[in-house]
Amino acid sequence: MRKLNVFESISIDGYFTGPHDDMAWAHGGADDPEFDAWVGQNASSGGELLFGRKTYQQMEAFWPTPMAAKQMPLVAKGMNAAKKYVASRSLQPKWSNSHLLQGELVAAVRELKSSAGPDITVLGSGSVVAALGAAKLVDRYQFVIVPVALGSGRTVFEAPSPLRLLEQRVFESGKVVVTYAT
């Protein structure tokens, strides 16, 4: 069975978005070549991606552009090449290798996990992550903890979720990547 992983940037106080769905805080801070190299390597893993509609639209608007190829060439190459699934009732995906999930989210992802293929990673997409976590479909969470406190916002967890630490890595920028198994 394929694994379902979550990759999410969160604030030090546990939010993936600020009070008005703001995410600019996640991309600020000092340059960190080591972190950038790690992100590029992560994006080249060859897995498949899953997005909610909002995150998909943000990604589709940036990664296929010349600006993305110039700023983060390894990440852009990986994002554009990856097979992508989008959970939406209304969107018609146009980004290369994108496919609309059919039917109800939990059932569609359960079927996707049981099919042959590489592991699947949900990027962002907090509402999708919350629903899949509540359905016990997430195998692993990987959080980039950004050293900023937001005070309020949205969290990916709607109920207590015991997790087991698998690894952690601290970067010069103060970002910490932690990986947990469910």
Q: What is the pLDDT of residues 2-39, one digit of tens each?
A: 999 999 999 999 998 888 877 888 876 667 888 888 88
What 8-state DSSP symbol labels residue 19?
T
Q: What is the CA radius of gyration of the chain?
A: 16
Q: What are the beta bridge partners of residue 123?
A: 7
Cα 8 to chain center, whole Å?
5
Residue 111: HSE in the Cβ half-sphere, 13 Å Cα cutoff: 9
**Domain extents for the chain?**
4-181
Which CATH superfamily groups domain 4-181? Dihydrofolate Reductase, subunit A (3.40.430.10)
How does pLDDT run across 62-116, given as a tens digit for each residue? 999 999 999 888 889 989 999 999 999 888 889 999 999 988 999 999 999 999 9
